[in-house]
Amino acid sequence: MSSTKPGSARSEEPSDSFGRNTTPAAFAEIFDSLRLELRRGCLVLAVLAQLREEHYGYTLRKSLAESGLEIEESTLYPLLRRLEAQGLLTSEWREEEKRNKRFYRLNATGQAILEKLLAEWNGINESLHRILKQETNGPTKSQEEKYEVTTAGKE
C-alpha cells in the first residue's frame, strides 16, 4: 500500500471516504452497479430515439449495436413492453419473411416525452462538461474568490 499526502498523487489502491482501502472485488462490484445504473437511463433514451423509425426487436438491437450501444435481449424486450405499457410506443404483429414479428414505433406521446428527455439530457450533459472541465482546468474565478473569503483571517 502506498501512502500519499493530501493534495499529492492518489494512492494505487482505491479507498472509501473514511480512507479505508477497497478490495479490488468490492471496487469492481461498486463500479459495475453504478455503470448499470448509468446505462439504464441511457438505454431508455437510445431506444426511444431509435424508435422514431419502426423496428422489430432484432433490427433495433442491431441498430443500437452499430451505434456502439450493445443491449441484451433480456434487457430490450422487457424495456419495450414497459415503454408500450406507459403509452409511449405502438406495436403491431406482422408476418415478414414467413415469420411473425412485432414492430415497434414511437407514438405522439412518446415523441413528446423523447423531446423533453433529450432537453433534460442535454442540460445534464452540459453541466457535467462544465464540472469536468473545472476539474481539469483548476478552480474557476468564483471558486477562488470563495476560498479566499473563507480562508481570510485564519492564518
**pLDDT tens digits for range 3-58:** 444 444 444 556 666 666 778 898 899 999 999 999 998 999 999 999 999 999 99
- Examine the pLDDT at 151 and tell me if it is beyond 80: no
Beta carbons within 8 Å of 55's beta carbon, 6+ residues apart? 63, 103, 104, 105
pLDDT digits (tens, 9 = 90+) for 85-110: 999 999 999 998 899 999 999 999 99
Tell me if residue 2 falls in helix, strand or coil.
coil
Residue 126 and residue 95: Cα distance in Å, rounded? 44
What is the pLDDT confidence band of residue 150, given thresholds at 50, 70 and 90? very low
Running DSSP on this structure, what letter comes out for residue 8? S
What is the reported pLDDT for 21?
72
Beta strands in the chain (DSSP E): 55-56, 89-96, 99-106
The Cα diameter of the chain in Å comes to 81
pLDDT of residue 2 exceeding 90, the answer is: no
C-alpha 44 chain-centroid distance: 9
Place of cell 422489430: 56
Q: DSSP secondary-structure letter at 71?
A: -
- Full-model pTM: 0.71
* Share in percent of the chain as helix, strand, coil (round to 5): 60, 15, 30
Sign of CA dihedral 10, 15, 20, 26: negative
Q: Kindly indicate whether the domain formed by 32-149 is annotated with CATH number 1.10.10.10.
A: yes
User: Mean pLDDT, the chain, as a whole number?
Assistant: 84
